Amino acid sequence: MDLVAIQKQMRVSFLVEAADLLVELDSSLLELESQPDNADLLNRVFRAIHTIKGSGATAGFKEMAAFTHHVEELFDEARVGHLHLTSEMIDLALAACDLIGTLLKTDAPASHAEQCNDIIARLAKHLPHGTAAAAEASTAKAEEVAGAQIYQIHFKPNESVFFSGTDPLSLLEELGDLGSCEVKADFSELPPLDGLNPEQCYIAWDIQLISDHPISKVKEVFMFVEDESEIRIDHKSLKENEACEEKGDESFRIFMDGVDQCIGALNVFVPQIQAPGVAAEGVLKNCLRTMRILVTASLTQDCTELKVIAESQILLLEPAVTSAEAMTEGFKQELADNQKKLVALQQELRKRTASPVPSASNEPAVEPRKSEGADTATTNSIRVDQDKLDRLMRVVGELLIARNAFPIIAHKVSVEHQLTGLGNELKQAGNSISHIADELQATVMAIRMMPVRSVFQRFPRMVRDMSRALGKDVDLKIEGEDTELDKTVIERIGDPLVHLVRNSVDHGLELPDERESQGKPRMGTVNLRAFNQGGLVIIEVRDDGKGMDPAKLKRHAVKKGVITEEYAATLSEQQALELIFMPGFSTADKVTDISGRGVGMDVVRNNIRQLKGTVTLQSVMGHGSKVTIELPTSLMVSRGILVNDANEEYILPMENVLELVKLPKQRIHRHAGSCFAQIRNDVYPVMRLSERLGASSSGEDEEVVSVVLLQLERSRVGVAVDRFLSEVEVIVKPLTGDFERVREFQGATIMGDGRVVLVINPNTLFKN
Amino acid sequence: MAKTIMAVDDSASMRQMVNFTLTSAGYVVVEACDGADAIAKVDSQPIDLFITDLNMPNKDGLQLTRELRAHASHRFTPIVLLTTESQPEKKMEGKAAGATGWIVKPFQPEQLLMVVKKVCPC
């Protein structure tokens, strides 16, 4: 998803969220009217408005956010105790909320400007003093023009810089990205080893940077550390002096607007402070805030005069905010003097604006609103708590099981009670309920289905970054992004896929030169493909790289002690490939940054297996490898074969069942304590289910033995049982409590007639 | 390995935007709906960066920052605050609490990526 699409998506989600918040606001405001001093309620209202403003602005609803800002201010003041909410204010807030709703729906927010201004004006009457925040928006910068410049930078981070989560080295690297950099470290303050605290930073750096970027870009590198670090940036540039003029009138005009607003506000605040007696804290704070904005604004235009005055005012005001004693006559006088200087400076700056500049505007006057289509999409989606969905899923699951009772009861009624007519009716009723249940299940599952796109979308970027880092040319082809999988599966398939794609790019694909020498195109291809097949979703990761060498894999496995040399000799090529799924096996000769950090293919296989999926591997030397993941579309319902052995019923999961066969007793041969049977051309070990579970065998000695052929991870096995009963749909509930550790069972399920039956985990039970 | 980022915000659309933006840039994103939720989830996986809103129910962004700094695994982990333009003091408070940086709302996905790359390079 590209960034524009992300914003579009955010608009849609924000509209849904805002609608919820507005409904909540309505009721909270009404509650607040009856209990205006309820702090919790006030905070809730404030947060809701704050979220509408913040998220809304980010989602692109500029007019709405600007308007909401004024409403927020009212509640911010109330929250900190500066004003007491009256019914009139609540009315105003309710009207404002309605207007917010209108602004969100309209395509032409500007047409409601009058209503907005009306409410803003009425809100302003309730606010204790003028608002300064509006000016802040105008500190936005326009890009400066700059040629190649030489910057001399001195950077000495605060000693405790690490505790703010900042890595000074990454800042130096960032400087390196701006141009060519020469860095000298200054170790002069490094204490002797016994006095050294390794969690402190003692080093300073002097950097010479040659870059085309303007100084604002260089300053931006230090934006998060500028307050507490020592930073000096000198730059040699012919253009510096003219910069102000050349910058274009637009940014200067914005700056001037901000300055005008701030100084206008100060013209109100300062006389208030000057008045006899102790000035209100709120006024002082507002004054301070406005000064800080001026300082920020001054930086955008490198206007030192402004910065100096504003900063000295800040120094004056700060002590006064905390203690009334600081408000001496001298303080008031100095404050007033500085204010005069500010006004004078303002006049001078205005003259600069008036200087003739070409008035051609670089920017389009009004940006048309882009994503109008997105607005209408809102009504088509609702957000649902995942827990509710899970609950619905479980209930539907129970329904699917419960319906199994109908055929059983119908059978009882018609056979045992001789009421064939009633039995048939019951059966029919059961059938129609069964159909409805199926449809319900399909619908619920569809709700939980998500396209694999959300997982796949991270790969283009990842592959691009990796190919750069490795010096390989890689073409990533993605197919079947719309293939849908259960949400739970989507959430958990990401990591294994990342691992596989990394493996393909890092280990699979060769370097361009190597590829060329082998007659392959220089650019390697990685295919990531998802598709449906027979009720399963298949995801393939394929590359046209060097493929895997079975002999090398065997040697490696022996070296790693994963298998013995004797055993290695018996392995087929395919079995040798499968070695990479063994724990403790890592194919890379060296551990690289990109992949091979010990998270091996065994983890991938385990993750997939937890999703009831399988992983298989194919590889042809010189032509590439393909990893195929098969996943069930849903984790909810699985199928199994109900069997009876030694008078107990068990379920064998369908995903393991290859075939059900009945064998004459003499076809099962006993050798060295184990049983074997030849079925067609393959020989299978055969074991009795009840014996394997440690229960006593039924001792039935039938002429024909019922055998379920099961596919295990790496082998196949025949399991002898007394009887095959039926194929069933089951919802496996994991065992809990002390039974959690019992790996031989996947869990238990409840049958239509209420009986509990254990579901076998064949991979554990029949291993070895 | 991809870096894991925890996005803490009580606004679902904000979380979604952060999540989509960062996921499309190859990061792994874990969401938390407020400070308390973040603390509850913090030990379940390694986190390379926190992005948190300030105003949240249950536990606000500043308190979360302080608690993370007191947490053995996150003394030096970057923490980025989402502030609004009306709260310059909050930036200072955030710094004092141990935050690495901040992003001022409203912001575009590109701005988010820029800051994230700055404090948590791939």
- pLDDT tens per residue across span A187-210: 888 888 888 888 888 888 988 887
pLDDT mean over A541-551:
90
Measured in whole angstroms, how far is the alpha carbon of residue A210 from the centre of its chain? 37
Q: What are phi and psi of A475, to 5 degrees?
A: -110, 115
Preferred mutation among B4, B11, B45, B93 to probe A, highest tally of A CBs within 10 A: B11
Mean per-residue pLDDT for A211-219? 80
What burial letters (b/e) apply to A617-644, b meaning 16+ CB within 10 Å?
bebeeeebbbbebbbbbbbbbbebbbbb
CATH homologous superfamily of A452-548+587-632 equals Histidine kinase-like ATPase, C-terminal domain (3.30.565.10)
Give, in order, the Cα–Cα distances in Å from A123 to each of A31, A118, A135, A283, A631.
Answer: 20, 9, 18, 18, 58
Q: Is A633 helix (H, G, I), strand (E, B) or coil?
A: coil
Is A356's pLDDT higher than 80? no
A637 touches chain B (CB under 8 A): no
pLDDT for A244: 44
Q: Is A15 in a helix, a strand, or coil?
A: helix
B10 touches chain A (CB under 8 A): yes
Domains A3-128 and A249-354 share a fold: yes
Q: DSSP string spanning B34-79?
A: SHHHHHHHGGGS--SEEEEESS-SSS-HHHHHHHHHTSGGGSS--E
A 10 A CB-CB count for A296 gives 16
Q: Which residue has 């003739």 as its token pair?
A: A356
Indicate the angle between helix axes A3-34 and A39-58, nearest 10 degrees: 160
Q: Which pLDDT band, with edges at 50, 70 and 90, does A362 fall under?
A: very low
Does A2 sit within 8 Å of B78, measured CB to CB? no
Q: Is the peptide bond before B78 cis (omega within 30 degrees of 0)?
A: no
If one counts every other C-beta atom within 10 angstroms of the C-beta of residue A659, the result is: 13
Q: CA-CA distance, A79 to A45, in Å (whole number)?
A: 10
User: In the predicted model, is pLDDT for residue A238 greater than 50?
Assistant: no
Choose which CATH entry (2.40.30.10, 2.60.200.20, 3.40.50.150, 2.40.50.180) describes domain A638-765. Answer: 2.40.50.180
Average of per-residue pLDDT across A613-627 = 89
Domain extents in chain A: 3-128, 149-236, 249-354, 386-450, 452-548+587-632, 638-765
Strands (E) in A212-320, as ranges, are 230-236
pLDDT value at position A250? 64
Question: For residue B6, what pLDDT is reported?
Answer: 94
Distance between CA atoms of residues A183 and B115, nearest Å: 23
pLDDT of residue A381: 66
pLDDT digits (tens, 9 = 90+) for A370-409: 344 444 334 456 777 778 887 888 788 778 777 878 888 8
Architecture of the domain defined by A149-236:
2-Layer Sandwich (3.30)
Residue A380 makes CB contacts below 8 A (sequence gap 6+) with none
Average pLDDT over every residue of B74-94: 82
Res. B8: pLDDT tops 90: yes
Q: Give tens-digit pLDDT for A4-21.
A: 787 788 888 888 888 888
Among 3.30.450, 1.20.120, 1.10.3470, 3.10.20, name the CATH number for the domain at A249-354: 1.20.120
Alpha-helical (H) ranges within A412-486 are: 420-448, 453-456, 459-470
What's the angle, vertex CA A494, arms to CA A492 and CA A500, rounded to 5?
125
Residues A181 and A129 sit within 8 Å (Cβ to Cβ): no
pLDDT at A252: 74
User: Residue type for B29, please?
Assistant: V
Taking an 8 Å cut-off on Cβ atoms, the answer to whether B17 and A59 are in contact is: yes
- pLDDT tens column, A705-724: 899 999 887 788 999 999 99
pLDDT surpasses 70 at B98 = yes
Tell me whether A228 touches chain B (CB under 8 Å). yes
| pLDDT score recorded for residue A3 | 73
Determine whether the interchain pair A165/B98 forms a contact, defined as Cβ–Cβ distance below 8 Å: yes
ipTM of the complex: 0.80
Superfamily holding B4-119:
Response regulator (3.40.50.2300)
Residue A407 has a pLDDT of 82
Confidence of residue A672 (pLDDT cuts 50, 70, 90): confident
A499 touches B: beta carbon within 8 Å: no
- Per-residue pLDDT at A450: 83
Q: pLDDT of A242-301, one tens digit each?
A: 444 444 566 677 777 778 878 887 887 787 787 776 667 777 877 888 888 788 777 777
Report chain A residues whose CB lies below 8 A from the CB of B45.
none
Q: State percent of chain A over pLDDT 90.
A: 8
Going A63 to A66 to A70 to A73, the CA torsion angle's sign is positive
CB A334 within 8 A of CB A316: yes
- pLDDT of A44 above 90: no
pTM above 0.80, yes or no: no
Given the structure tokens 């096995």, which residue do they identify?
Answer: A717
Question: What angle (nearest 5°) sits at the alpha carbon of residue A705, between those of residues A704 and A709?
Answer: 140
pLDDT reported for residue A544: 92
Asked if residue A131 has pLDDT above 60, the reply is no
Which amino acid appears at position A304 of this protein? T
Q: Which amino acid, residue A231?
A: I
B window 48-107, beta carbon within 8 A of A: 53, 55-57, 69, 75-79, 82, 84-86, 88-89, 92, 95, 98-102, 105-107
**CATH class given for the domain over A3-128:** mainly alpha
Tokens for A754?
A: 């209420």
Give pLDDT tens digits for A321-339.
Answer: 777 777 777 888 888 888 8
State the average pLDDT over residues B35-56: 91
Q: B105 CB contacts (<8 Å, ≥6 apart)?
A: A54, A55, A57, A58, B82, B83, B84, B85
